A and B are shown apart, each in its own frame.
Chain A
């Protein structure tokens, strides 16, 4: 049964993605658990709905044509307004469809809860993201470095991104890798992912926050664990990622530098900070919400236990 389902899903994916490159159709070429489950859901629900709407469209046109007045049919019945069989169809077809889709919604919404860390006992790798006008700041607290407009993350390991924004409300979206979620000033939202293979993927702010928001984009580099460790070490020495655009290098990212960074600007080059102020993310949220206290990240088991 499982094989049949998998074969069916893969077949449908191949069918829909023929000719769609990863770059132009990122959602249909997912990476990792989150993106794959999203695509699986998209395909299954599309098929279920097509099973309903295609007959409805065909039936509408067919009935309208068949009973056109010029056809002169003799079964005209102006009082035909009720039939047990037809009424059963009209209620149960939508009801069963929606019941099926509703069940899937319940299951998949919990499965793809953006706050749920992937993996059970392993502590996720933490990255902090701050949406600024119009650039992305990523802080890697464990490595003690920060990057602008470039996200680097390890494969084969659960990752949690803490997200906030300053000063606009935006959204972070890496199609096919993480689900979209808002970034809001004074608040922390989260996204979790677990990539299986090294790859590159575009990410963006998908929510209007001023002219230029469409250029608030970044490249996500997923690296093999060893490569990632080497990159983190290199970044602390100001070394750019191999094979990517050379980064501008700055010394330390603290609140004083952040105040300069937060000023609205476009086309900010990829920038590396060799060291960071450890509490910077918390301090940024506290600019708006002084009582905010950053909690430690749960593992998957801890999260499921708490919820």
Chain B
């Protein structure tokens, strides 16, 4: 009945694991209680659970990402604490508990923080920047979100029932194989990646089609905002790279479940194939995350310099070049696997080539500020912080591409410092800058500037203190994933790194306080114009928050930054003639499929095959049932549109 799920699967084996489970369950219950107490279930059902509106789906993605950021950060704090404590003793994480925390941190931050954050920002912004009413496939969009939410649930429940993987976020066999790791941990990891991999692939398809088919009239490819270009390239990467991961974890699952020999060391299996397939996804993954962050920085720099982006066409070409080359570098993750010198050198050089378009981008952001009027909005802080810290990470990245240097830094703390240097100032700073930039568009009031800047300093200083010592520790030979520090000489640097983590903790608290203060003072910070930052692209030409249909009349575009040009000319934007609007009908089906996906994966992890079949049937039934629904769009007449526009804002800034 319950497969291999027994009472022993509950986390009573360690106080820390039990505490983590208690917090997870407690927070979950608290949210349910708040929703019930304030009678918010109806509101939640109407506005979020059943919505197909890209803006609301985007908001849900970002909420998931922020929650998982906190969860992933707690893991990070525990690891910093354990390494520091174990330099003089054994620390507090017993057995392979450190490795669970490590694996959860990596998996969460990449798959369930960065990726949903990206998907959320893009979901919200993309149709608005294109002058579109929604993404190309609203139902598919909601389905992607709910499948992602299902896999997030799977990772969260692994803390309460059973254990998480100890094989790291990369899950290399043979360590992740059934012989060495017969428990449920690796299975949780496989199923979470498998389901969210599907979801992300569908998201990529959705974004590509939206960009190709739903641009406003006159918006040629070379008039699209840079952010849209980065999303297009990032989506192409998703489409090409994600199947490699999905197949890799599926084959690993077959090895574990049916004792096949795809990746075993014996019986003709080849464990190096997993490494190759994982990084054929894994390296492009970094670029599909960082490209939209580059897009955010481009928008922020242009807006707050009051200028068009410097070298638009060079920026576009650089983005496309990064997209192509990003798929030709994966081998640099295992120069130490013993390939010939020529193979290693070719991949080393192809990796460095990415430095050329990336360097060009950094210069173009610099020269966008040149002869501009730079306003130091909080998003600008994140952008400048990114530019300063990211080039350091870029330099250490190039060092890793120099093959013999990589031999000496691979698998050490130096490597850990390098990729955090790309992912924290690069990806996360970008997404947070975007969050603070577009927040007023989403909710109709601006975020508190003061707490935003405090959060920035917490993150920037914290990042520097936490990771610069790791570069030094790496050169001292400290292997990554070391649970017990074997050399007490490392203690001083580990203390500095821990202090850095505490500064980041302050940064996270400041983000929460910022949200609280901003909501409390929202009456004073209302964005009545829809254009609080003197924006340049189409999303700022509509009220904040935008009505469900985004654009009452579809704008006509004749150049880059059309809204800025219209404002400068003192004239109005050009619009297509008014007409009725068609919007998708809300539906619960995506959520049903997402929840079933969660149940199905959970059942598979615990070998509860009857439940697995049941959940699969529900999913299948929902898909088939949905295909018989014909009335999945409703029409708003021009009068209803006008009424909605007046109701939602009545403050369209005289532009609409």
* A contact set with B: CB distance below 8 Å: 23-28, 37-38, 41-42, 45-46, 49-50, 52-53, 56-57, 59-61, 63-64, 67-69, 73, 75-83, 86-87, 89-91, 93-95, 97-98, 101-102, 104-106, 108-116, 167-169, 171, 173, 175, 179-182, 184-187, 189-190, 202, 204-211, 213-215, 217, 287-289, 307
A67-B369, A175-B477 known; A101-B398 Cβ under 8 A: yes
Q: Does B35 contact A (CB under 8 A)?
A: no
* Chain A residues, CB < 8 A from B399: 42, 45-46, 49
Query: Which of A45, A73, A215 gathers the greatest number of chain B CB atoms within 10 Å?
Result: A45
**CA of A126 to CA of B349, assembled, Å:** 33
Contact: A182 with B349, CB < 8 Å?
Answer: no
Contact: B314 with A78, CB < 8 Å?
Answer: no
Closest to A53 in B: B391
Other than A76-B306, A78-B568, A80-B310, give 6 A-B pairs with Cβ distance below 8 A: A61-B388, A82-B311, A94-B357, A173-B411, A186-B265, A209-B175
Closest to A188 in B: B338
* Chain A residues, CB < 8 A from B411: 171, 173, 180, 206-207
**CA of A210 to CA of B408, assembled, Å:** 22
* Chain A residues, CB < 8 A from B355: 94, 97-98
Q: Does B174 contact A (CB under 8 A)?
A: yes
Query: Which of B306, B336, B399, B477 gathers the greatest number of chain A CB atoms within 10 Å?
Result: B477
CB distance from A14 to the nearest CB of B (A): 16
Can you list 16 contacts pairing A with B, beta carbon distance less than 8 Å? A27-B475, A45-B398, A45-B399, A57-B387, A57-B388, A80-B310, A81-B309, A94-B356, A94-B360, A108-B403, A110-B341, A116-B341, A169-B174, A173-B411, A184-B265, A210-B96
* Chain A residues, CB < 8 A from B153: none
* Chain A residues, CB < 8 A from B384: 60-61, 64
A41-B405, A98-B352 known; A169-B369 Cβ under 8 A: no
A75-B371, A105-B402 known; A167-B307 Cβ under 8 A: no
List 9 tightest A-B contacts by C-beta distance, closest first.
A94-B359, A179-B407, A90-B363, A113-B341, A185-B265, A69-B373, A109-B345, A189-B338, A49-B395
Contact: B360 with A37, CB < 8 Å?
Answer: no
Q: Does B212 contact A (CB under 8 A)?
A: no
**CA of A109 to CA of B96, assembled, Å:** 37
* Chain A residues, CB < 8 A from B341: 109-110, 113, 115-116, 307
B375 CB contact (under 8 Å) in A24, A69, A208: A69
* Chain B residues, CB < 8 A from A189: 337-338
**CA of A90 to CA of B366, assembled, Å:** 10
A78-B372, A113-B341 known; A26-B476 Cβ under 8 A: yes
Contact: A67 with B372, CB < 8 Å?
Answer: yes
Contact: A67 with B391, CB < 8 Å?
Answer: no
**CA of A1 to CA of B424, assembled, Å:** 42
Within 361-402 of B, Cβ neighbours of A (below 8 Å) are at 362-367, 369-376, 380, 384, 387-388, 391-392, 394-395, 398-399, 401-402
B482 CB contact (under 8 Å) in A69, A95, A214: A214
* Chain A residues, CB < 8 A from B271: 169, 184-185
Contact: A217 with B486, CB < 8 Å?
Answer: yes
Closest to A68 in B: B374
**CA of A73 to CA of B625, assembled, Å:** 64
Contact: B175 with A53, CB < 8 Å?
Answer: no
Q: Does B348 contact A (CB under 8 A)?
A: yes
Q: Does B95 contact A (CB under 8 A)?
A: yes
* Chain B residues, CB < 8 A from A28: 475
Contact: B483 with A211, CB < 8 Å?
Answer: yes
* Chain A residues, CB < 8 A from B307: 77-81
Contact: B374 with A64, CB < 8 Å?
Answer: yes
* Chain B residues, CB < 8 A from A57: 387-388, 391-392
Q: Does B129 contact A (CB under 8 A)?
A: no
Q: Does B481 contact A (CB under 8 A)?
A: yes
Q: Does B550 contact A (CB under 8 A)?
A: no
Contact: B376 with A68, CB < 8 Å?
Answer: yes
Contact: A210 with B175, CB < 8 Å?
Answer: yes
**CA of A195 to CA of B180, assembled, Å:** 38
Contact: B391 with A56, CB < 8 Å?
Answer: yes
Contact: A26 with B477, CB < 8 Å?
Answer: yes
**CA of A285 to CA of B642, assembled, Å:** 76
* Chain B residues, CB < 8 A from A186: 265-266
Query: Which of A49, A75, A116, A307 gathers the greatest number of chain B CB atoms within 10 Å?
Result: A49
Q: Does B201 contact A (CB under 8 A)?
A: no
* Chain A residues, CB < 8 A from B365: 60
Q: Does B272 contact A (CB under 8 A)?
A: yes
Q: Does B353 contact A (CB under 8 A)?
A: yes
Contact: A95 with B174, CB < 8 Å?
Answer: no
**CA of A307 to CA of B489, assembled, Å:** 43
Within 137-179 of B, Cβ neighbours of A (below 8 Å) are at 166, 168, 172-175, 179
Contact: A67 with B175, CB < 8 Å?
Answer: no
**CA of A79 to CA of B487, assembled, Å:** 58
B349 CB contact (under 8 Å) in A102, A111, A168: A102
Q: Does B532 contact A (CB under 8 A)?
A: no
Q: Does B479 contact A (CB under 8 A)?
A: yes
* Chain B residues, CB < 8 A from A87: 311, 314
Contact: A67 with B373, CB < 8 Å?
Answer: yes
A41-B405, A81-B308, A105-B401 known; A206-B362 Cβ under 8 A: no
**CA of A204 to CA of B403, assembled, Å:** 20
* Chain A residues, CB < 8 A from B312: 81
A80-B307, A90-B363, A171-B336 known; A208-B168 Cβ under 8 A: yes
* Chain A residues, CB < 8 A from B524: none
CB distance from B493 to the nearest CB of A (A): 10
CB distance from A113 to the nearest CB of B (A): 4
Q: Does B410 contact A (CB under 8 A)?
A: yes
Contact: A53 with B395, CB < 8 Å?
Answer: yes
CB distance from A53 to the nearest CB of B (A): 5
* Chain A residues, CB < 8 A from B266: 185-186, 287-289
